[in-house]
């Protein structure tokens, strides 16, 4: 019985040490991201990256799967870059951006949008940039 008690103590001690290390690393990452607000903007930036990748997805044959011919890939990239920059500067309306992304996903998850729909979408995401963030450009 004495051997088992020692085994349980080692397992408990090891578990406690691992939990403390995870808590410290998690706390440092949380602080590095800027707390709750920083984490929200970080997640918004990840969503921007995913939507941009979805819109600019290519088939194995090299043809665009989602991007219509009437909008250049460079125009899409530059628009996303402007919104990404504003998001990094904490200058984006996250609620509005989330609504726009949800609408995009529900409409275009499996279909190709028309040129007018992509232009409308790009204008909508640019509209999420707060005026203070865009005033410096």
Statement: residue 137 has pLDDT above 50: no
20 and 86 assigned to the same domain: no
Nearest to 100 by CA among 135, 52, 65, 58: 52
pLDDT in tens, 5-27: 678 888 999 999 999 999 999 88
> 3 — phi, psi (to 5°)?
-65, -40
17 and 47 assigned to the same domain: no
14 and 39 assigned to the same domain: no
Domain carrying residue 26: 1-33
pLDDT, position 4: 58
71 and 103 assigned to the same domain: yes
pLDDT, position 133: 46
Number of domains in the chain: 2
121 and 70 assigned to the same domain: yes
Mean pLDDT of 99-115: 90
């Amino acid at each position: 019985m004495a051997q088992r008690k020692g085994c349980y103590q080692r397992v408990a001690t090891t578990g406690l040490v691992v939990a403390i290390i995870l808590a410290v690393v998690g706390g440092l990452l949380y602080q590095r991201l800027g707390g709750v607000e920083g984490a929200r903007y970080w997640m918004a930036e990840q969503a921007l990256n995913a939507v941009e990748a979805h819109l600019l997805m290519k088939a194995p044959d090299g043809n665009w799967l989602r991007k219509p011919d009437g909008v250049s890939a460079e125009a899409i990239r530059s628009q996303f870059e402007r919104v990404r920059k504003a998001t990094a500067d904490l200058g984006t309306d996250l609620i509005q951006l989330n609504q726009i992304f949800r609408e995009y996903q529900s409409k275009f998850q499996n279909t190709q949008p028309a040129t007018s729909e992509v232009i409308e979408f790009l204008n909508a995401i640019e509209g999420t940039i707060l005026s203070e963030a865009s005033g410096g450009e």
